[in-house]
Amino acid sequence: MRTLLLVPVIAAAALASPRIGGRVGYYSGNDPRTEDGGSSPFFGGQITLPLMEMVAVDLSAVYAYTETDILLSDYLITSIEEEEGISVDPDSLLEYLQDEWGWTGAGSEFASSYTATFHDLDLAATLKVGIPIGDLPVRPYIGGGGGAHIIVSDADLLIQYVEQQTGQESPLDVYDKVHPSIHGVVGADFRPAALPVSLFAEYRYAKALGEEAGSGDISSIYTGVNLGF
């Protein structure tokens, strides 16, 4: 019973003095359709809800995008394996497409290169615990949490080309996935005395869960600012 009574007390304390701010940084992950490594700058924001003097919950949203050059043949082989569960080698790709999809091209277009972009909206909740180091304005912390990566790939614009070559609706599905994720963080914040502002720098390692492309390791390093006491 006492535990239940503490829940609204903690929630009220958190809502009484939230800190709101933004962040910028650098992101490294995997293109969801091509499975190639990708990295890019990102930006986002956060709301920090203090629970106790050294404990807070951080709610954040971050957007990142990466451009990757991809051969049409690589895109088709990866897509066939993911969508249909069939492994096709480059030498038999044209024969497979002609037999299964009604492909009308000669195959020379497979060497064409396209620029694919993937967009990743990262929503996360992180519990952060401060590490006491004395009466200093700098406070290191560690933490962890979970969230979701909402990933969309512009590589699927190639589906339109597939439809032109087959004369029918593409058997490929548009890549639009939500990957649950877990993560850990380590960082430090700087709080000048008597000012309603704090600066922080942080490293986060995340794991997007699942068997499909787009899951895997994601690393990011960033800095930001929070407003509020």
Q: Is the pTM of this model over 0.85?
A: no
Which residue would you say has higher pLDDT here, 135 or 167?
A: 135
Q: How confident is the model at residue 5 (pLDDT cuts 50, 70, 90)?
A: very low
Question: How are beta strands 216-227 and 176-190 bridged, if at all?
Answer: unpaired
Q: How confident is the model at residue 140 (pLDDT cuts 50, 70, 90)?
A: very high
Number of domains in the chain: 1
> Using CA of residue 85, residue 90, residue 91, residue 96, what is the dihedral sign?
positive
Distance between CA 71 and CA 102 in Å, rounded? 21
Q: How confident is the model at residue 228 (pLDDT cuts 50, 70, 90)?
A: confident
Tell me what pLDDT residue 105 has. 75
Give the domain CATH number at 108: 2.40.160.20
* Across 137-161, average pLDDT: 82
Q: How confident is the model at residue 157 (pLDDT cuts 50, 70, 90)?
A: low
**123, amino acid identity:** L
Copy the structure tokens of residue 207: 């794991």
CA-to-CA separations, 98 to 19, 62, 107, in angstroms, rounded? 59, 42, 10
For the stretch 83-102, pLDDT in tens is: 778 888 888 888 888 888 88
Tell me what pLDDT residue 204 has. 94
pLDDT(10) > 50: no
Least confident of 91-105, 119-133, 175-189, 204-218: 204-218
For the stretch 15-47, pLDDT in tens is: 458 999 999 999 877 655 555 566 788 899 999
Tell me what pLDDT residue 9 has. 45
Distance of CA 156 to the CA centre of its chain: 18
